[in-house]
Amino acid sequence: MSDPLETRLKSIKHILVVLSGKGGVGKSSVSVSLALGLQAQGLRVGIMDVDLCGPSLPRMLRLEGQSIHQSAQGWSPVQTKETVSASSATHPLGCMSIAFLLGSKKDSVVWRGPKKNAMIKQFFQDVAWGPLDYLVIDTPPGTSDEHLSLVEYLRLAPDVQSVIVTTPQAVALSDVRKEVDFCRKTNLAIAGVVENMSGYVCPHCTHCSNVFSTGGGESLATEYGLPFLGRVPLDPSYTATLDGKGSESTGSLLQDFVASPLKPVFEGIVGKIVEGSKTSEGDAE
Ligand SMILES: Nc1ncnc2c1ncn2[C@@H]1O[C@H](COP(=O)(O)OP(=O)(O)OP(=O)(O)O)[C@@H](O)[C@H]1O
Ligand code: SF4
């Protein structure tokens, strides 16, 4: 009899595990933006939160208060309610987060490692995504029990790669070295490095100033021989988009994303990831 975990994983062509050495560098924002960028290309995309103690995807995806439904196939992911006319997206974005299983959004998860591991396994085994081109996984910062169990369960998946998110400052970069080390020790392939909060976009004139240093993520990628995926500036209008509060908000996250000044930046990053996935598919043949 086939292993239920393996059967589920085989229906997902590519898995992107989004990692960061430190909290607050924009890992969840990048995870959501990658998912939206892939969805805008017409691909079938899911996004999963394994940040069990601090899930932020439901808030960013405007899905707070929703809950998971059980069907004969398993847990149905919660889908974003989008009108997709502003892009070539043809499939809804499905999301799975521990927050959908908690009764109240104020409930917090205080679990030890084994319980977290069991929940992560259940996420992979029980969520009925249907066939997906990409599953984007948002993880907690650093390297914890969640990361180790994730890597362990994903051994059965056809293609798994990490995307490492950092800010350009030296303090964040030293933590990234630990992430690279973790990936190498666990044989997790690295799709590349994203340098987030790289410069500040003026809300008045959209000029981008380098308030802090810039280019640290690219130098680190070069040092380790990793692809550099791109530099994302800190754009206050994008913070508002992710918080669903922008004065220009259309009410649809996907349409707000498509209209955002950061869309071309994420298009470039997604383009490099998709190209890399094709190369790895070619290598596997
Ligand atoms: N490029 C950006 N432009 C504007 N705002 C951003 C950008 N990147 C992140 N933010 C904002 O910064 C805040 C922190 O981002 P986010 O929650 O994605 O970080 P994180 O690394 O996932 O944090 P944690 O690990 O603590 O969950 C959020 O309010 C988010 O909207
Ligand atoms: S970048 Fe230009 S418009 Fe923006 S705050 Fe500075 S001077 Fe003003």
Evaluate: CB of 202 within 6 angstroms of ligand 2: yes
Q: Whose CA is nearest to atom 5 of ligand 2?
A: 202
Domains of the chain: 4-284 (3.40.50.300)
Q: Give the ligand 2 atom nearest the CA of 207.
A: 1
Residues in contact with ligand 1 (CB, 6 Å cut-off):
20, 23-29, 51, 54, 56, 141, 196-197, 232, 234-235, 238-239, 242
Q: Whose CA is nearest to atom 11 of ligand 1?
A: 239
Q: Whole-structure pTM over 0.95, yes or no?
A: no
pLDDT in tens for each of the 285 residues of the chain?
578 888 999 999 999 999 998 888 999 999 999 999 999 999 999 999 988 777 889 999 999 888 888 888 899 999 987 655 556 677 889 999 988 887 655 556 666 677 788 888 899 999 999 999 999 999 999 888 889 989 999 998 999 999 999 998 866 678 889 999 999 999 999 999 999 998 888 888 878 888 777 778 888 899 999 999 999 999 988 998 888 766 666 777 888 888 888 999 999 999 999 998 877 666 655
HEC-encoded secondary structure of the chain: CCCHHHHHHHCEEEEEEEEECCCCCCHHHHHHHHHHHHHHCCCCEEEEECCCCCCCHHHHCCCCCCCCEEECCEEECEECCCCCCCCCCCCCCEEECHHHHCCCCCCCCCCCHHHHHHHHHHHHHHECCCCEEEEEEECCCCCCHHHHHHHHHHHHCCCEEEEEEECCCHHHHHHHHHHHHHHHHCCCEEEEEEEEEEEEECCCCCCEECCCCCCHHHHHHHHHCCCEEEEEEECHHHHHHHHCCCCCCCCCHHHHHHHCCCHHHHHHHHHHHHHHHHHHHHHHC
Check: complex ipTM more than 0.90: yes
